[in-house]
Structure formats: structure tokens, C-alpha cells
Structure 1
């Protein structure tokens, strides 16, 4: 127990801000358990796939439901569908955390993958708002993967390689955002799907089936190759005597799972910060597809599903670069808490400037218009679709969204590390939930 406390004290010193120069021990870095991390990465890719699969087409799906001709009302419906996943996940996260502490991380991960597969198929076959909301709610209820995966990664790593291992989460999230090209296959891929009455009747089912297939594949890999990491479950599956011989110092901590009362105050503070960032990050992710795909007269940019899928794929790659290249370099020179704080600061101008870019474009058109021939419709068309103006707007979006990718990678990874460093192993499932 003393060794565990000492290890936790050393690791948490990485993110404490006491104003003094920190002493970093030069230790030999433990090699990462590559096979287990690879299997976990396959599992993790399925969650962003399930979340992001609807983003390119949610606006167009709702239009096909013929609920309303009011574009803003459609945006409200889209908010209900996208938010129900996170609301349901929020309500069940601690429950899944307790289950993972008592019965194992592997059990929760495999259950979540099956839930993803079933709910994705159901959502792809939605023909009404109530069906779409119910299927997304089911997906959130069944999905406790993120917390269980964080706990598992923490348990199979140590303080020398933990930061590198936790970069896996942002990498997999970025990888899962690359896609979204399979909407309306009968229309976009007529040679293959043109004669399929099913895909004509359910034009949004193919991308959901693809996400479901990925979850089934992840379940198959996890079932055969993923090893349990929870010491409580390991102790149950092996003799108590053998467990004490292997790790006598931890024999008392693995007999019984912890409870909410055991969560330390440091973990509560870190989780509160995590909660604040996660809320506004999810709101931004939900509003983004509506802003890009809604028609211009309703305040959007009016781009197609294919174009938005390309945008998501591009920034999925930016997210991967941010996670794999930029964040590790930052943590070599700065402590985790400082990087997280600066990421919080940098996200503010992104949120302030992002919705104002179209206003800036319209303002610049008013400045340009006196120099053009007002009597010519062609000149007005040139002004409204000026290549330079469009390029400037596109550059602005790229810069702001790229900054957000870097801040997201830094903040989420930093919080994941701090949460796991601040809590003992017997309540990892609870704090990660």
C-alpha cells in the first residue's frame, strides 16, 4: 500500500502547480503493452464512429422526416437526437463504472460494443423522430466504453509510459471521424446500389451499418484477445493465495471494490473541470453540422453531406496529428496541468470568432460593393462569390478548427491523465465513469 501511494504521489507531481521547480526523475521508460493497446484502440475507434456517423446527414435526415418547413425547428430536432446519446451516457456512466470495478473492464467494453452495433443499425433505419431519439438513447445507455477503456489503460501502464498511452484516446477519436461518405448509396454509388430498393427506402442506413460492422469486429477481437486488467476480477479468477504471492502489498485493496464515498477531493476537482470542458465541447460538436449544412437563408453555410464528410475527415486527420505529434512535444516541455490550462484559454477566441466569420464576410462584401457595378447582376454575383473572399473565409474556419483540435487533444488527454493519477485503483471505474 505504501508503494502504491508513493507511485501515485510521484505521478501526480506532474500536474501539481505549487510554484516551485519540479523534480523529474530520469527513469527508464517501460515499454508499452502494444498488443493490448492495439486491441483497445480497435475498441475505441468504434465510439467516435458511432457518434460521428450521423453528423454529415442528420440535417438532411430530419428534412426527409417532413417534420417542419422551419429550418430552425429542424435544428432543434437535431439537437434532441444528438444530445440524447450524451444525456443517456451521463445518466448511466457511474453505473457502468461500478460494474467495471466489480465485474471487470472487459465485460463493460464488450457489452458496449454490442450496444453500439444494435443501436447503430436501428438508427440507420429511422423513419420518424421518435425512433431516431430512442435508438440514440439506447446507444448512450449501452455505452460505458470510454470510462472502462481509460481504467484499463491506466492499469496496464505505469507512470513512465502513461502519458503516451493515453494519447491513444485522441488518436482513435480522430480516426473515427474519418468517414461519412456512404450516405444515400443508391444515389451516390448507382453502379453498386442503384437497384437496391432497401437503400432507396433507407438512404441513411449504409453508414450506420458500416459503424455497426466496426463494432462487431471490435467485439470479436476483444472477445478472443482482450485480457482483463481489473485486479479485483483477476483476484476472483485466481486463487487468493497466488494473488498474495504475486503482489502481497495490494492483497487488501483487491478484495473489495470501492464506492463513491472513497473518491478523493482531488479527483472531484479534476472531474468538475473535465465536466465543464466536455459540456461546451459536445455542444460545439452538435451545433457544427447544423451550421455547415443548413441553408444560407437560415444562417448556415449550405454545404452538402459529401462536403461536410470531407471536412470531418480532414479535421479527423488534424486531430490525429495534434494527438500524436503536438501534444507529446508539449508535455516534454510543460507539465500536464499547464498545458490543460492554456488549452482552456485558447479555446475562448475560437468560440467567440467562429460564429462571426460569416458576419465578417458580409461586412467585407458591403465594403467591396461600392467599387462594383451595382446595375449588373453579374457583378453582384461576383461579389457574393468572390474567390478571394471565399478563400479568406475558408482559411478562417481552418485556422479556428485546427486550434480547437489541438486544444481538444490537450485538454481531454490532460484530464484523462489527471483523473487516473488522482484516484486509487479500486475506484478507477467510478471516477472514469
Structure 2
């Protein structure tokens, strides 16, 4: 447990080239060197730019689909919302391997830059969608051109020395979790501004015509800042002159094992996929469940109410989690190991999720106390599990394979995340129609069973 799955990076090139960016970073990774805090801050902001457009749509997706008038009944809205939510991950599934391969060839930073540019373009187009088809296509294109998460995870391990690797990966996990909290909060507060803030956004204005444009512009503004910070990051990929390749190869170790035959990598990717399937389905269903009527087992929340829940739970935990991840977490991860940490987080999530159907019976203060407590605990467990998964994947391959490995894991996990919203939304819509059924029942039958017990 104390040793990494591969034995750390032992492929340090014996021939160092002064002009090689990878060699320059390698010399800074010597044991005892301080953590690269400046680069980690910039990298965390890049991760935030990736996470925000993924989760920003969930609080208003129910109302957006309703405005498209494609659902025949109100209970069918979850079905169409699930397809829009899945389209991003479907696009990333087809292209993530390519972006990971490209990151191993041209470098990590160029792929990050292209990913942020895709956010600027396609997320803005999604904000002006006027039909279900346009929303579906723009989200698919956003996922197809946004392949920076794999290179980001590889980059986090490559800029840190062995003793700070847990810190680097935890920064990625923390900012990713923060983006999944801040994104829905922005979507909840900034969608339909002409309805929520009529004194500021008047009827007939641009934001009244496109009620979901404001949130897209705010996310794009954050992405523009992230693009500027991305250019300050040094490249970590080794780039040696071609004339020296034969000499370097003579001193290289034996031929690398294929990642498709690397059992630690495959097992780590499986854990990552299963948890991501669960987490993305939870993110989608939570918002759909909260805004659905109480007669159908929901909470009758507005999109602002959902944004408020996510904002309060995120803000109350954001600072504490950031301090924990930067100080205590690396020591805990090194002591317990990522495998044990991931197991505990997954087990503790089960009883927390089981109490959600019962919340529709609560009112006023008690509802908010229980809901916020469950949301905070879920966020903590998600952050710990994702960070553990990142460590397991990065430690199971060499640097030369890290971009491709993270790209492959990202591609596979995108398929699971694509199935999550579509499957979760369909099951949610089906369950709402089966309030009194004995199999896969709705909230009424669940509460009846609990009272009998």
C-alpha cells in the first residue's frame, strides 16, 4: 500500500537536454524541493474552467427543456433533460483517447489551451440555444473538443516531486469538486435573469430573449481568465533532438508494457468509471428531484432554490476543504493509501443517499438542515474518492504513457458519464410514474415502507 502501483517514475532520462522543457521540470522535482504552488494554482483554475460547463446546466435544465416544448407531459421532461446532460460526455467519449495521444506527442499545454477555447465557443452557443436539437449538438461539440482533463491529471503528477504528488493530484480533485458545486450555483442564480431580476434585466432585453445566456457568458469570462493563466504553465513533456534519439534509446529501459495489459491501470480505471457513473447521475437527479412537484416526490424548489442549496453547501465547505487538501490530505493519502481511502468514501456514501427520498416529508428549517448536511457530506466523499482515483491511475503508468492512459480512462469514463444522466433521468421519470408500484417505487411507497418498518 505504501508503494505506488508502478514504483514511481523510474524513467528519468540519463541524457539531459538544457532546452528540453521536460528535463527542466525534472531537475526541479528533486527530493526535498518545495511544492510548485504557483503552477498548482494556475492548474487548479484550468480544472475549474473544465468543470464549470459540465455542471452549470443542471439547475435550469428542467426549465430549459420545458421551454423547448419537446416533452409531451411534465413527467417526460427528465427523459429529454437526460439526453442533453449526456451529450457532453458522449462527445468526450469519442475524442478523449485522441486528445491524450496528442498530449503525449505535442505536449500537455497545447491540449489544455484548445480545451479552454472550446469552452469559450461552444458553451456560449449553448447559452443561446433555441431548440432541443441545438442544445444537444452544442453540448456534444463542447465535449468533443474539450479533452484537457486527461492531460491535466498527467500534468499534476509531472510537476510535483514524489513527496508532493498527492498534493498535486489533490489540487485537481479539490478544484474539480469545487467546479461541480460552483457551476450549478451559477446556473441556478443566473438563469432566467429577466424573470428573477426584472428591475435589472427588462422584458424584451437580450437576456429575456435568451434566458440562459447570462450564465454562459459568466462561465466564458472565467474560461478566458483561465486561458491566460494556462499560458504561464511550463511544458512537462520531454522534447529531445532527433539526432540523439538512438543514444537515448540505448540507455532506456526495456520496452514499455501496453496499458491495455496493465492490470493496475485497468482496475484503477474501473473504479474511476463506476464512481463517476454514480456521481454524474446524482448531480443530474438531485436537481430534477428538487424542482419536481411534491406530489411527485420532489421538493417543489425553483432553480434559485437549487442554486442556493449548492452555493451554501459549497461555500461552507470550500475553504475548509481547500485547507484540508493542501495540508492534511497529502499526509493522510500517503499514510492510508489511495485504495483504502477510496473504499471508505464509497461505503459511507450509501447510507447518505438512502435518506434523500424521505426529505420530501420535511418542512422549513428541518428540510434545509438535513438537505445541506447530506449535500456537504456527499461533496466531501466525492472529492476524496476522485482524488484517490487520480492517484491510482497516474501511479500505474510511466510518464511516456501517462497522457494516453489518462486519455483512455477519460474516454471510458465519459461513456459511463454519458449513460449516467440519460439512464438516471429515464429511471427518475419512470419512478415518478410509479409512485405506488412495488418495484422501483416512487417516494410514496418508500415512505410507506419506512413507516411500517
Task: Give TM-score, length-normalised by structure 2.
Answer: 0.75
- Structure 2 residue runs of 5 or longer lacking an equivalent are 11-29, 408-453
Task: Give the corresponding residue for 1:308.
Answer: 306
Q: Tell me whether 1:56 sits opposite 2:56 in the alignment.
A: no
Residues 6, 409 of structure 1: CA spacing in aligned structure 2 closer, same or farther, 3 A cutoff?
A: closer
Q: Is the 8 A contact 2:47 2:149 kept in 1?
A: yes
- Structure 1 residue runs of 5 or longer lacking an equivalent are 10-26, 363-388
Q: Tell me whether 1:71 sits opposite 2:77 in the alignment.
A: no
Q: Tell me whether 1:145 sits opposite 2:129 in the alignment.
A: no
Q: Secondary structure at the match of 2:59?
A: coil
Q: Tell me whether 1:413 sits opposite 2:411 in the alignment.
A: no
Task: Give the corresponding residue for 1:168.
Answer: 171
Residues 323, 267 of structure 1: CA spacing in aligned structure 2 closer, same or farther, 3 A cutoff?
A: farther
Task: Give the corresponding residue for 2:88.
Answer: 85
1:249 shift after superposition: 9.4
Q: Deviations over 1:125-156 (max 9, x none)?
A: 11111111111111111111111100111111
Runs of 4+ aligned structure 1 residues displaced above 4 Å come to 238-241, 248-251, 258-263
Q: Is the 8 A contact 2:177 2:379 kept in 1?
A: no
CA distance in 2, matches of 1:263, 1:230: 24
Task: Give the corresponding residue for 1:194.
Answer: 202
Residues 200, 7 of structure 1: CA spacing in aligned structure 2 closer, same or farther, 3 A cutoff?
A: closer
Aligned with residue 280 of structure 1, among 253, 278, 281: 278
Q: Secondary structure at the match of 1:50?
A: helix
Q: Secondary structure at the match of 2:285?
A: helix
Q: Tell me whether 1:404 sits opposite 2:402 in the alignment.
A: no
406-415 or 164-173: bigger deviation: 164-173
**More RCO (CA 8 Å, sep 6+):** 2
For 1:14-413, what aligned pairs fall within 5 Å after superposition? 29-68=32-71, 70-176=73-179, 177-178=181-182, 179-180=186-187, 181-194=189-202, 197-223=205-231, 225-231=232-238, 234-235=239-240, 252=252, 261=259, 264-317=262-315, 318=317, 321-322=320-321, 324-325=323-324, 328=329, 330-331=332-333, 334-358=336-360, 361=361, 389-413=363-387
The total of aligned residue pairs comes to 375
Q: Is the 8 A contact 2:66 2:77 kept in 1?
A: yes
Q: Deviations over 1:351-385 (max 9, x none)?
A: 32222333xx28xxxxxxxxxxxxxxxxxxxxxxx
Task: Give the corresponding residue for 1:374.
Answer: none
CA distance in 2, matches of 1:122, 1:251: 51
Based on CA coordinates, which of the two structures has the bigger radius of gyration? 1
Q: Is the 8 A contact 1:167 1:324 kept in 2?
A: no
RMSD: 2.9
Q: Deviations over 1:69-101 (max 9, x none)?
A: 522200111111111111222232222111111
1:191 shift after superposition: 4.3
Residues 276, 323 of structure 1: CA spacing in aligned structure 2 closer, same or farther, 3 A cutoff?
A: farther
CA distance in 2, matches of 1:398, 1:189: 25
Q: Is the 8 A contact 1:30 1:160 kept in 2?
A: no
CA distance in 2, matches of 1:201, 1:49: 23
